[in-house]
Amino acid sequence: MARDGALVFLGSLYKIPDGPPILINSHFFRGIAGPFPTSRGEILMPKKKAAVAKKRAAKSPSLFSASPLAAMTDSLVCDCLGDTIAAINDAGRALLGGKAKAGRSLSAYFRDSGGKPVKNIAALAKGRQPKHLVLVDGKASGLLLDVTVKALGGAGARARALVVARATPAPPAPPAPTSATPGTPEIAKPAPEPAKDLATQASLTAQILSAASKGIIALDLNGIITLANPAAADLLNRDSGAMRCMPIERAFIYGAGHPEAGKPIPIRAQLNDGPYYLDREVQMARTDGETFEAVYVVVPVMAAQRAVGYVITFRDITRRRRAEAEMRLAGVVFDHSPEGIVVADDTGRVTKVNPAYGRIAGIPAASVIGRQLPEILAAESNSPAGALNLLQGGDQRQWEQWNKSGDGRRYAAGISISVVRDHDASVQQYVAIISDVTQRKLDEEKITYQANYDQLTSLPNRTLFMDRLTRLVLESRRAKSSVGLMFIDLDGFKAINDTLGHDAGDELLKATARRLEKCVREADTVARLGGDEFTVIMPLIDNFEGAGYVAGRIIKSLTEPFDLGGRVGNVSASIGISLLPAQAATAADLLHNADVAMYHAKRQGKANYQPYKPELEAIVTVKDREL
């Protein structure tokens, strides 16, 4: 039920509270026809026809004034034919300044909330009721009215409409506070000054709107902007003052990437379709051509249980959308990465594992959830406690290690661990990336082996031999210890190659390498320099007698016949021995001296060993080196 004498619309049945229902139909307004002028002082028909229309319109006030409608004292009640007043009650005539009468345009007295003229009152019967119009000519000019228009039939200039307008009700005042102690008389308090209270409330509201980070726009029921806060203006790259009285469709435009880019966002159409409450995400355009992802919410402003306007709040969610896209991408990368990814909290407890880790480690990925990260990163030769140190110090560490998988397979793991910190540099998470680098490690080891070892005998080659000899010489200087070197050349090897073939010669060289390794100590290094030349590095040999003992064993072993695939091969060995520091100061000197001594052994009839002596430099000739 309406209050204060307002009309309640029930189709064509109208009821005034505390009064009888009134049936309004064509017979009630019979005898009233038109058309009449559409604006004050403007006749859109010949004068003769206009005079007839005015006379016909003048007949209705007697019927209208006799009805209960005319008795309403707080509302303007007007019967309109098109835009022309056919009859108006006394309250309406007083509200419009006594000028309103039959035959005059009613719309001339009103503007919409955006300040635009109302072209035809009867046309306002369409859409949601009531409308909000501002009185611009009359006794209470500037007053905001709730205007309800009910179509009663007809079309165009003969469209019949009943118009009821009343001042927009103000919210009820809060009840006065009562005494806190029962039974005591209430003490009258001075009422607040209304103007001062309103000014304070307006100032507070303005500050709230200015401080809000979201865009806030107020609309009337016709979708006209009545207020826009600074955040809204900044988001749309507009001036907040210029946005007032602007249709919302001019401010909200679809942005690039939307199928209807450049077209207005149909806010009013969405509201007409319902519901009153909207929550949408959309690509929105700024006046400078840029596009941003936005979410807007439209809620009705209610007064006396009816909508009197709308409030739109909206914000830029571009960063959120990008963050969501990045999170989705990170999720896809996490789930489909060929590398194992393990995430742990700030205590090192594993909280998340991707499927690839399970494949690499040979265990169910979920089985490591809740375990300590250092424990699962520990190398097969290290303890978890040792791996814990890898998490200490620095924000990133990388290393490689050999591990044993759950199915017993040895694999090389490349591990990179990073620390994730928050804004105050506190540790939030650890992220470990584990790669299976087994094949690369094997390839690297193969390359390293080929670069440092003889392919035929698997003994260290000249490169590795010189590296070890140089390091041993440096260490012996620091420790003031000695180093011995034997240079071995096979006697009769050329004849084996010539008579039995190179394959037999290769077999003899491989067998020679195995016999040499059996004759020396574990700390000694046997190397093949090339062809049939071998060396033995002997640390901590400080006299010729010790080196000579080993040389004798070698000669005895190599003079034993070799089985070369069913054929017998016989060779012997000539060995030269040099000592450091007694006879040499550098690795190169040590090798040279042993080489000279070896050629001297060949001059002595082969199958013997000789120590280096300085005087041998003059004895060994080029011809000896060709033997």
Contact 469, 537 (CB under 8 A): yes
Please give the pLDDT value at position 140: 59
* Residue 43 CA neighbour count, 13 Å, CB half: 11
The more confidently predicted of residues 1 and 90 is 90
Q: Which residue type is seen at 177?
A: P
- In the 8-state DSSP scheme, what is residue 277? -
Residue 110, classified by CB atoms within 10 Å of its CB into exposed (0-12), middle (13-18) or buried (19+), is buried
- Homologous superfamily (CATH) of 453-625 is Reverse transcriptase/Diguanylate cyclase domain (3.30.70.270)
583-587 mean pLDDT: 92
Q: How confident is the model at residue 163 (pLDDT cuts 50, 70, 90)?
A: confident
Q: What is the pLDDT of residues 489-511, one digit of tens each?
A: 999 999 999 999 999 999 999 99
242-246 mean pLDDT: 91
CATH of the domain spanning 337-441: 3.30.450.20
52-79 mean pLDDT: 60
Q: How far is CA 488 from CA 519, 536, 552, 577, in A?
A: 13, 8, 12, 9
Q: How far is CA 498 from CA 274, 488, 503, 625, in A?
A: 104, 21, 11, 20
Same fold, 204-321 and 453-625: no
CATH topology for the 204-321 domain: Beta-Lactamase (3.30.450)
166 pLDDT above the threshold of 70:
yes
Q: What is the pLDDT of residues 11-22, one digit of tens each?
A: 233 333 333 333
What is the spatial distance between Cα 89 and Cα 63, in angstroms, rounded to a whole number?
11
* Cis peptide bond upstream of 611, omega within 30: no
Please count the other Cβ atoms lying within 10 Å of the Cβ belonging to residue 519: 18
- In the 8-state DSSP scheme, what is residue 158? G
What is the spatial distance between Cα 35 and Cα 163, in angstroms, rounded to a whole number?
17
Please give the pLDDT value at position 624: 57
Q: How confident is the model at residue 479 (pLDDT cuts 50, 70, 90)?
A: very high
What is the spatial distance between Cα 498 and Cα 361, in angstroms, rounded to a whole number?
55
Ramachandran quadrant class, 74 (left: phi over 0; alpha: psi -120 to 50; beta: rest)? alpha
CATH topology for the 8-167 domain: Beta-Lactamase (3.30.450)
Q: Which residues pair with 215 in a beta bridge?
A: 314
Structure tokens at 332: 């896809």
The sign one gets for the Cα dihedral 580, 582, 584, 585 is positive
Q: Could you tell me which of 527, 531, 467, 461 has the C-alpha nearest to residue 496? A: 531
Domain ranges of the chain: 8-167, 204-321, 337-441, 453-625
Q: How confident is the model at residue 146 (pLDDT cuts 50, 70, 90)?
A: confident
Beta strand residue intervals within 334-478, DSSP E: 340-345, 350-353, 396-404, 410-421, 427-436
Contact 470, 584 (CB under 8 A): no
What is the spatial distance between Cα 165 and Cα 6, in angstroms, rounded to a whole number?
9
What is the spatial distance between Cα 353 and Cα 357, in angstroms, rounded to a whole number?
7
